[in-house]
Amino acid sequence: MQLLEGKNLTMVFGGLSALNSVDITINEGEVLSVIGPNGAGKTTLFNLLTGVYSPTAGKIRFRKQEIKNLKPYEITKMGIARTFQNIRLFGEMSVLDNVMIGQHCRTKTGVFGAILKTPAVRREEAQVREKAMDVLKLVGLDDVYNEKAKNLPYGKQRRLEIARALATDPELILLDEPAAGMNPQETNELIELIEKLNDMGKTVLLIEHDMKLVMGISKRIMVLDYGRKIADGPPEEIKNNEKVIKAYLGEATLREGRAC
């Protein structure tokens, strides 16, 4: 079943086209990777799908509902969450607090309730904390819940970002270069986590340059080049697509599954 559809997506900045008439479909339960050289429009696409930008032209539907003019928090509440290419954690806050903040879009506590600390507020806070701990256990960070986020090793900070996104209860999670800067062991742990999330029913849209990761977990791969889509299909098809080889990685790199 189709979960998200973007039609004819175009984004122009100061006369320069970052995306040019790009179509994207994301099916429920799949892992779709978006690849392409730097400047191909990958992060711009993510920003359109999550409400950071409103497209110059085109439509975006999530579960058949138009979302292109919604605010990011409204899109998050609908069931789309993301991580960022550059880590955006609250460094001075604990690991647990970072994940609890992710649940803000699902809580009902108002300003006065928070001030008065009513029984309903206390119950909700306990539920938020319990759920945050469950998410941390899922990503393997429950043993460091009380650490400051800034004190975590790089790979664990990446996983914490994913945990915070998961705390919003997304149906679709967008991961922007989650393996960037990771060592091989951390990358393998990330692959296991993405596979676990997908097995749990989460739909994953991924931007990544690590081709071993992309080829290993993707059910489908979409390729952008200079703001245009040049290919879309299963990994084996993309691996042998001459347009992709010429425009992006080069034959040896793509076919051997190396990071670019």
State which fold the 82-169 domain adopts: Rossmann fold (3.40.50)
pLDDT-derived band at 123, boundaries 50, 70, 90 = confident
Which residues is 260 bridged to in the sheet?
none
The average pLDDT across 21-25 equals 97
pLDDT tens digits, residue range 170-217?
Answer: 999 999 999 988 999 999 999 999 999 999 999 999 999 898 899 999
d(CA 186, CA 224): 27
User: Cα separation of 80 and 173, whole Å?
Assistant: 6
Q: What is the pLDDT of residue 112?
A: 42
Strands 228-233 and 57-62: unpaired
- The residue ranges of every structural domain in the chain are 1-79+172-178+203-260, 82-169
Tokens matching residue 238: 């993309």
Tell me, yes or no, if the two domains 1-79+172-178+203-260 and 82-169 fold the same way. yes
Whole-angstrom Cα distance, residue 43 to residue 37?
11
pLDDT at position 113: 47
Q: How confident is the model at residue 102 (pLDDT cuts 50, 70, 90)?
A: confident
| Predicted local distance difference test score (pLDDT) of residue 37 | 87
Helices (H), the chain: 42-49, 72-78, 95-101, 111-116, 119-139, 154-166, 184-199, 211-217, 235-239, 242-244, 251-256
- Which superfamily does 1-79+172-178+203-260 belong to? P-loop containing nucleotide triphosphate hydrolases (3.40.50.300)
**pLDDT confidence band for 126 (50 / 70 / 90):** confident
Q: State how far the alpha carbon of 99 is from the alpha carbons of 36, 95, 191, 206, in Å.
A: 31, 7, 21, 21
Cβ atoms of 244 and 223 within 8 Å: the answer is: yes
pLDDT class of 109 with cuts at 50, 70, 90: low
In the predicted model, is pLDDT for residue 72 greater than 70? yes
Q: Is the pLDDT assigned to residue 30 strictly greater than 90?
A: yes
Task: Tell me the three-class secondary structure of 30-53, residue by residue.
Answer: CEEEEECCCCCCHHHHHHHHCCCC
pLDDT band at 253 (very low <50, low <70, confident <90, very high): low
Question: The pTM is what?
Answer: 0.87
